Amino acid sequence: MIRQTRNVKFAIQSNHSMNVLVTGSTGFIGAALCRALVQQGHQVRAFHRASSNLRLLEDLPVEHLVGDLTQPDTLAPALAGMEVVFHAAAMLGGKHDEPGRMYTVTVEGTRALLNEARRAGVRRVVHTSSVAALGVPPLPARNAAPLLMDETHTWNFRPDYWPYGYTKYLAEMEVQRAVAEGLDVVTVNPAMVVGAGDIYRKSSSLVVRVAQRRLPMLTEGGLNIVHIEDVVAGHLAALQRGQSGQRYILGGHNLSHQAYLQQIAAVVGAPAPTLVLPAGLLRRLALPIRLISPFLDLPFSPVTFRKAGYYFYVDTRKSRTALGLPPPRPVSDAIRAAYDWFIQTGALEAPR
């Protein structure tokens, strides 16, 4: 059922079961969305590659459809009969970022999906972007409070310094093109998501590295941490209440790197790193570190060194007001959920 209001095109009656496609369905956010949608009584079609790890979906009554964003002929069968699409698929950044592959998957894949969604008569798409698509905030002056980024912030960083963020930004440009052509699309921008189910970061997660005492140092800067359950709630609220063509930051708490690592240490029972490396030095070392990174066990992608010293703090007032989101869960709850899940899945040993 569609209810028209001045700012919102799409609303769901609580008793209306819908056919929903989730791309990126085997990933951290996508699988959590599948679970929540099934619990709400919707018919969920999980779109994923043949090689995807199905662990997060194995107990869910979803329809599996094998395909690939880079193979457009697999998209029409995936979208047939779908009312809603949650587009949570993208190529994550890593130690050895491949800008060309990222562009193909994240940008061209999004373009192909949106084009096919319009042809298929999909009523609404919720596009999972990232706060990375906002670019970088100004470096704070000495002793000055970091500035908050909001939904009006736009890309302002060298693309080769952060391929992941740049491709997420370009994917949002594809969203705007699709909206101009008549497709109803709402964008959500999650911050750093923490919680149970982070399947592709089992070894690189800061929770794992601190617990294993494999994070000897940190640098200046900060980020926003949000619980996976708050991210899922934000997606569902965007489906119901979001305005087509708008973006909504899904954030939790702004924390310095030091404060975040101290919270992790308190949960996992390990010491927090205390050696603070100067951010300016790390930014200057980004290129040589990138060249030798294949031979090192670095806690971060070399691209991350380019962002040392930045405080990726966000203002979530727009999403909280427009989407009616409750206060975010505590960061310690997100860390605990992640830690317990890593133990359950064998990524960490249970404490004695």
Q: What is the pLDDT of residue 3?
A: 35
Distance CA 70, CA 52 (A): 15
Rounded to a whole number, what is the distance in angstroms from the first to the last CA of the chain?
A: 54
Can you tell me the mean pLDDT for 122-140?
96
- For residue 255, list its beta bridge partners: 223
Within a domain: residue 169? yes
**What is the per-residue pLDDT for 328?**
98
Is residue 207 within 8 Å of residue 194, measured between CB atoms? yes
Structure-derived torsion over alpha carbons of residues 214, 55, 189, 183, reported in degrees to the nearest 10: 160
| Arithmetic mean of pLDDT, 322-351 | 96
pLDDT interval class at 298 (50, 70, 90): low
Q: Residue 171 maps to which CATH number? A: 3.40.50.720
Q: Where are the alpha helices (DSSP H) in 126-269?
A: 163-180, 206-211, 228-241, 257-268
Contact 224, 251 (CB under 8 A): yes
- Residue 59 is assigned to a structural domain of this protein: yes
Give the separation between CA 82 and CA 21, rounded to whole angstroms. 6
With a pLDDT cut of 90, the percent of the chain lying above it is 75
R_g of the chain, CA atoms, integer Å: 20
CA angle in degrees (0–180, nearest 5) for 318-323-328: 80
Query: What is the rounded CA–CA span in Å between residue 292 and residue 28?
Result: 30
Separation CA 23–CA 30 (nearest Å):
7
Torsion angle of C-alpha atoms 225, 228, 234, 236, degrees rounded to 10? 170
User: 129, 300 in Cβ contact below 8 A?
Assistant: no
The C-alpha torsion from 32 through 33 and 35 to 36, rounded to 10°, is: 120
Report the distance separating Cα 51 and Cα 228, nearest Å.
Answer: 24
Degrees (nearest 5) of the Cα angle 133, 210, 313? 30
Task: Assess contact for 248 and 186: CB atoms under 8 A.
Answer: yes
Q: Report how many domains make up the chain.
A: 1
What are 330's two structure tokens? 């505590």
Residue 2 has pLDDT above 70, yes or no: no
Residue 157 domain-assigned?
A: yes
Torsion (CA) 13, 112, 61, 3 in degrees, nearest 10: 0
340 located within any domain? no
Highest mean pLDDT among 201-210, 220-229, 287-296: 220-229
The predicted structure's pLDDT at residue 6? 37
Average pLDDT, the chain: 90
* Domain assignment of residue 131, yes or no: yes
Work out whether strand 222-227 and strand 253-256 pair parallel, antiparallel, or are unpaired.
antiparallel
Residue 46's identity, in one-letter code, is A
pLDDT tens digits, one per residue of 268-284 = 999 999 888 888 778 88
Cβ atoms 222, 311 nearer than 8 A: yes
In a domain, 295, yes or no: no
Query: Is residue 53 a part of any domain in this protein?
Result: yes
Percent of the residues in the chain that have a pLDDT greater than 70, as a whole number: 89
The pLDDT, as a whole number, for residue 114 is 98
- For 27, half-sphere exposure in the C-beta direction (CA atoms, 13 angstrom radius) is 20
pLDDT (tens digit per residue) in 24-82: 999 999 999 999 999 999 999 999 999 999 999 999 999 999 999 999 999 999 999 99
For 48, the 3-state DSSP assignment is strand
Give the residue from 276, 17, 289, 245 showing the smallest Cα distance to 151: 245
Name which of 10-24, 180-194, 208-222 the model is least confident about. 10-24
HSE of 306, CA atoms in CB hemisphere, 13 A: 16
Kindly state whether residue 99 falls inside one of the protein's structural domains: yes
Q: Which domain covers residue 61, as residue numbers?
A: 19-191+226-252
Decide if 341 contacts 197 (C-beta within 8 A): yes
Contacts of 94 (CB under 8 A, 6+ apart): 204, 301
